[in-house]
Amino acid sequence: MPLDVEEYRIAQLYMIAKKSKLESEGEDSGVEIIKNEPYSDGPGGQGQYTDKLYHIAAHLPVWLRRFLPKSLSTIREEAWNAYPYSKNLICTPFMDRFSIEIESKYLYGGTKKENVFELGENELSERVVDIIDFVEDNSECSESENPLTYVSEKTKRGPLEKGWLESCEKDEVSGESSKKDFMCVYKICKVKFERWPIQYKVEQFIHDYIRKTLVLAHRQAWAWQDEWYGLTMEEIRQMERETQECLAKMMKGGD
């Protein structure tokens, strides 16, 4: 992302809170925030812990709904945000053979750092590296969220051009880029779905879905910068509290 690491922290939290409201429609499609509180002794040391329930029945493909009981259409996500490190653990309360574990590190510079999670030889041999370019990815997006045309009124950033990533990485190598205007989110995603005969198909579907979600989320974080730019962490936490209250009402069928 062509952002400062600390800027990205605000952008990410704002984007998550806003998307939670936009994508919640009620009992079968929505987010419940069970907890959102600080922790002092956990992954990454100390940070903010969240516990959420996602009701996803309306978003599952037809072929998958045929295999899964209704109880598996609700998943739980625990997240430990010790920025610039975070960990997410996703599971379902009714199936111990399914889990998604995602670790993230938010680092200055481009995509060329090797083994930032210090994996052993066995994990490295199984790892598949996928560089996601939120500008050049071919996924559809609305015109207002298109990084090729979007210009921020507050920051005057944009539009971004195709090849922006390669250009920034060349400048990084030559020492011409500023350390404060270029960063990368490194993620390691581990998916487990131990249910024959659809294990591979479901695991691949989940990886593809995560990738698609990341592309869209980062396009929105970039295109919403006039909304989040200048916000403080105190204002973000207040927004999260208001979002939690709003979603609780929606899940109960309130206005």
pLDDT in tens, 161-188: 999 999 999 888 776 655 678 999 999 9
Average pLDDT over every residue of 232-240: 95
Per the model's pLDDT, the better-predicted residue between 138 and 227 turns out to be 227
Identify which of 117-131, 136-150, 170-184 has the greatest average pLDDT: 117-131
Q: How confident is the model at residue 131 (pLDDT cuts 50, 70, 90)?
A: very high
The confidence score (pLDDT) of residue 75 equals 83
Q: How far apart are CA 241 and CA 245, in angstroms?
A: 6
pLDDT in tens, 30-82: 788 899 999 999 999 999 999 998 876 555 555 555 655 555 567 889 999 99
User: For position 254, what pLDDT does the model report?
Assistant: 54
Strands laid side by side in the 45-55 sheet? 30-42, 45-55, 74-82, 85-92, 95-108, 183-193
Banded model confidence at residue 196, pLDDT cuts 50, 70, 90: confident
Report which residue type is found at 107. Answer: L
DSSP E strand boundaries for the chain: 30-42, 45-55, 74-82, 85-92, 95-108, 183-193
* CA–CA gap between residue 151 and residue 158 (Å, rounded): 4
Given the candidates 3.10.310.10, 3.30.450.40, 3.40.50.880, 3.30.530.20, the CATH classification of the domain at 5-249 is 3.30.530.20
21: Cα separation from own chain's centroid: 15
| Sole residue written with tokens 């539009």 | 159
| pLDDT (average), residues 110-132 | 94
Percent of the chain with pLDDT over 90: 61
State which of 60-64, 127-131, 197-201, 247-251 shows the largest mean pLDDT. 127-131
All residues at 6 or more sequence positions from 80 whose CB lies less than 8 Å from its CB, including other chains: 39, 42, 43, 44, 47, 48, 49, 86, 87, 88
SS3 190: strand
Contacts of 192 (CB under 8 A, 6+ apart): 97, 98, 99, 100, 203
* HSE-up of residue 86 (Cα within 13 Å, Cβ side): 22
pTM of the model: 0.86
Residue ranges of the domains in the chain?
5-249
Contacts of 95 (CB under 8 A, 6+ apart): 72, 195
Kindly state the average pLDDT of the residues 234-246: 92
> Two tokens at 112?
């060329």
pLDDT at 104: 97
> Which single residue is written with the structure tokens 């990341």?
214
Integer Cα distance of 145 and 166 in angstroms: 22
pLDDT at residue number 25: 61
Q: Give strand pairing partners of 108.
A: 183
**Residue-averaged pLDDT of the chain:** 87
The pLDDT > 70 percentage for the chain reads 84
